[in-house]
Amino acid sequence: MRHVRWFFVGMTCTCLALRAGLAYGQTTPAQVAAAEKLFEAAVAEVQAGRYAEACPLLEQSHVLDPRPGTLHALAECEEKARHPEQALRHYKEYLELYARMKSPLKEKHTERARLAEAQVKKLKAEILFNQAVAHREAGRIAEACAALGESLRIDPTPGTLYSLAECEATRGRLATALGHYKEYLGLFASMKSPLRERHAERARIAEEQRKKLDAEAPRLKLVWAGEVPEGVVIKRGDATLDSKMLGTSVPMNPGEYAFLVEVPGQPLQVRKVRLEKGDRKILELTPGATQVVKDEAQPLLKDPSSTMPQPVEAPKPGMHPWKVGGIAAIGVGGAGFIAGSVLGGLAVGAKREVDAACDENFACGEKGMKVVERFQTLGNASTAMFIVGGVVLATGVTLFVLAPKTPAEKVGTVRLRGLAAPGAGYLGVEGAF
């Protein structure tokens, strides 16, 4: 360590002794040699991760022999040493040198210059982000959000976008924060590992905030009764609104808003509305409207200028209740016929088992008696279903035929088609009503 210290002292003395040569605009061989030694020492410090020691060596090397490569290395060193202001200054100096370079030297530095330009943007954004942190800690929320917005514009990163959403929510600009959270969640959905893992907790919080702000942010719907005339201009401040936005409920920040409505040939109209947290409002922009603001749950009339009640069309005559009941009864009766057919088929199958289990003298064992009981049960059930289905079906047909006709009613026709077989059944109803 003592040798390194004496090396620094020696290099410093050499730099002071050779600085006079720079006044004449020429670099002497001694200066070049000293600069190379300083550069090599700086490289060793960088390789060891000691950027705080490497950066002064690179700066001294550049003073003795101002080469663009040394200046670029110095900017990189300052950036790794967490000195963004110094790094930004050196990158800008390097780009100024690059702009004055001639070929073929310029071609050699093309890639370095491209990286330097990217780093300038990144460092500007980082400096603004740090300023935003300082503003927020001091309670200057508006200044913090402005710095974050500028940082995001220069270098759009997910982390800065998330921080801006938090800042705007703290500031009370609910709709603005909601938009930033939605944009951040869209970026998170396209992230790949390991970046996605680093943002997982932020994404969880952002989703909770999105749901919360979606309910809290006031919404405003601009409406116009009838067709919007040609040449209408709607403004809010200096911004001109697209007429396509009419009828759409849009999230807004809490506050008071004024809309200017310019209709050709008519006086300028001003529409004002105040929005609080959770409001859902409709603002009528039609000139001459008597009611201009309402809750969205109670929408305005489509044409406020019309006060005459609209004629109510008489209801068309419907089907008579007897016919409705008759059709329902026909369906139920048909279902009874089908069920009876199915049970009858099962009874026929059980009859075969009875014939197999009992002899010609109708002597059946214990097992056979159980088969006989099942046969009797199925047979009785089938008969009952046929009887009930027939009664209900007949009732339905009677109601349908005897139902009074309504005015201008077409005469209905009904045809029944049925089929019953062992183990299956079919009943169809066809008609024109």
Per-residue pLDDT tens over the stretch 154-209:
999 999 999 999 999 999 999 999 999 999 999 999 999 999 999 999 999 999 99
pLDDT of res. 229 = 84
What average pLDDT is seen over the chain? 79
Radius of gyration of the chain from Cα atoms?
45
| Angle subtended at Cα 242 by Cα 236 and Cα 245, rounded to the nearest 5 degrees | 95
Q: pTM above the 0.85 mark?
A: no
Q: Give the domain 219-295 fold.
A: Immunoglobulin-like (2.60.40)
Instruction: Identify the pLDDT of residue 364.
Output: 63
Q: What is the pLDDT of residues 47-101, one digit of tens each?
A: 999 999 999 999 999 999 999 999 999 999 999 999 999 999 999 999 999 999 9
Is residue 51 within 8 Å of residue 77, measured between CB atoms? Answer: yes
Residues with pLDDT less than 70, the chain: 1-26, 290-292, 297-320, 322-326, 329, 332-334, 336-337, 339-376, 378-379, 381-382, 384-386, 388-393, 396-397, 399-433
In the block, residue with structure tokens 């001091």: 138
SS3 419: strand
Instruction: Say which residue the tokens 């959270």 belong to.
Output: 181
Helix H segments across 172-287? 174-189, 195-198, 200-216
**Helices 84-100 and 68-80 sit at what angle, rounded to 10 degrees?**
160
Nearest to 345 by CA among 378, 384, 389: 378
Q: How many CB atoms are closer than 10 A to CB 268?
A: 10
Q: How far apart are CA 46 and CA 42, in angstroms?
A: 6
